[in-house]
Amino acid sequence: MAALDPGDNNHRLCFNVLKSFPAPLLTTWPCMTEAMYLIGERAGYRGQEKLREQVERGVFQFSTPTFHDALRACVLMRQYADVPMDFADASLVVAAETTNIKQILTLDGHFHAYRIDGNTPFEVIP
């Protein structure tokens, strides 16, 4: 979201990093829902419109969680309860486990603690 919000202190860094990654970027529906809400809280309708436009341009590919993935997310949320981990974060860890993607674009420091398949750390960018 920082890449879309010029008022965010990390806007320039995130915008430049995001430009270096080819589309589509993999995300999950729980994360998109959370992002749409948060950008609306921070930047209002205009921020949400920027995110909607990216969806429409195909910037994102969506990993749709299955019931099994949702159960795995619940296990992860219990495992990382002290970090903590919400469902959106858990959905990204599950997506990483099912796609073998190890890089994640996030400012969320929790991803330094999370492990893919219980042992592989994320390459957190930026």
Q: How far apart are CA 101 and CA 116, in angstroms?
A: 9
CATH of the domain at 101: 3.40.50.1010
Is the per-residue pLDDT at 1 higher than 80? no
Domain count across the chain: 1
C-alpha count within 13 angstroms, C-beta hemisphere, residue 19:
7
> DSSP secondary-structure letter at 2?
G
- The mean per-residue pLDDT over the stretch 72-93 comes to 98
Q: What is the pTM assigned to this prediction?
A: 0.93
> What residues make up the domain containing 68?
2-125
Q: What percent of the chain has pLDDT over 70?
A: 100
Instruction: Please name the residue that has the structure tokens 């430009």.
Output: 19
